[in-house]
Amino acid sequence: MEKVKFATIGTSKITQNFIDGTKISNKMVHSAIYSRTLAQGEEFSRINGNLPVYTSLDELCNADIDAVYVASPNKFHYEQSKFILEHGKHVICEKSISAQPHQMEELVNIASKNGLIFMEALMFMHLPSRHLLTEALGSIGNIKSVNLNFCQRSSRYDAYCNGELPNIFNPECETGALLDLGVYCVYPALYYFGMPNKIHATSSFLSSGVDGTGSVIMNYGDKLVTLNYSKLCQGMAPSQFVGDNGCVTVDSISTLGGIKLYPLKGEVRNLRDGETKEELMSHEAADFADIIRNLNENKELYELCTKTMIDCAHVMYEIRMQSGLYYPSDKK
């Protein structure tokens, strides 16, 4: 089957990881690069086979490509994804696509109207190990308590402390702890348990106005799911799912690496180690390509991804409103 020809927007490390992931999946071929800065785009091109570089989205969409991977700063995701979809190309966009649920729904509708695929590049939804975790959770009885943790000290935090304002800590870029890391906690909660009955959320803020740390309790009536995330400190505690017949721990909730089963009676079982970043991203690249090439065979997965993506946007909006985390797009 013919490979999906894709372009990239963004020249960061995560873009390179996605490109390398497509080489592992062997279902997509990198064909073009978009960059707002020509020199930066040309440098990225030299690393990736001297591909054509575009500084105009209009020219990019007229190139011989099928799809675009969008990994620009968050504030550009909505407008760029909308433009690309309206010009007939499939889109896989890095999380978080938008702080506004209605924008997410609009993009899904544009894609559907134009017969295109629109996905959020969130690894969890495409990791084979999520099925392993599902099986493990089924063995620990009625789940009563869940703690999903993702505290990772930003490599840009020192720069912020020294008076700089990196994009990740700039509210104008619509980023921060929730949209960058908290999203990795929200997705598994929704995937395994659905929408909660109630949400209680709070955040601590940096002087720039973005959230540095956040905590959320999602109340499901018969269980509580607690989310803890931060860009300011490096956490070591695993996430855990606690049932009345045992416990499952996950060292990395974002990658589902290090899954262990602790039955109430019996031996501890190590169910899953980790994968490289490129291997992790190869799964979402493979699914994206498969859905483009044969939607009928992959419709169930695509519909699940779409529903979870939209539900996540609504949950994170509620978390933001309760926490007092506002962005420029909230004023529009």
3-state secondary structure 230-249: ECCCCCCCCEEEEECCEEEE
pLDDT score, position 274: 86
Mean pLDDT of 187-197: 99
Tokens representing 147? Answer: 């703690």
pLDDT score, position 331: 82
Question: Which of 39-43, 142-146, 274-278 has the weakest average pLDDT?
Answer: 274-278
pLDDT score, position 1: 78
Residue 111 contacts residue 118 (beta carbons within 8 Å): yes
User: Is the fold of 4-124 the same as that of 126-280+312-331?
Assistant: no
Residue 289 contacts residue 117 (beta carbons within 8 Å): no
**What average pLDDT does the structure give for the chain?**
97
Over pLDDT 70: what percentage of the chain? 100
Residues 249 and 168: their CA atoms lie apart, in Å, by 29
10 three-state secondary structure: coil
Residues 201 and 216: their CA atoms lie apart, in Å, by 4
Tell me how many helices (H) and strands (E) the chain has. 11, 14
The β-bridge partners of 242 are 145, 247
Residues 151 and 96: their CA atoms lie apart, in Å, by 17
Which fold, 4-124?
Rossmann fold (3.40.50)
pLDDT score, position 94: 98
Hey, where are the domains in the chain? 4-124, 126-280+312-331
- The helix (H) or strand (E) run that includes residue 225 is strand 224-230
Q: pTM, whole model, 2 decimals?
A: 0.96
**pLDDT class for 332, splitting at 50, 70, 90?**
low
What is the amino acid identity at position 255? T
- The tens digit of pLDDT for each residue in 252-269 reads 999 999 999 999 998 999
- The tens digit of pLDDT for each residue in 76-124 reads 999 999 999 999 999 999 999 999 999 999 999 999 999 999 999 999 9
- The arrangement of strands across the sheet holding 269-272 comes to 198-205, 211-219, 224-230, 143-151, 239-243, 246-252, 257-263, 269-272
pLDDT score, position 122: 96
Mean pLDDT of 164-179: 97
- The tens digit of pLDDT for each residue in 199-246 reads 999 999 999 999 999 999 999 999 999 999 999 999 999 999 999 999
Contacts of 273 (CB under 8 A, 6+ apart): 257, 258
pLDDT score, position 197: 99
- The tens digit of pLDDT for each residue in 33-83 reads 999 999 999 999 999 999 999 999 999 999 999 999 999 999 999 999 999
Which fold, 126-280+312-331?
Dihydrodipicolinate Reductase; domain 2 (3.30.360)
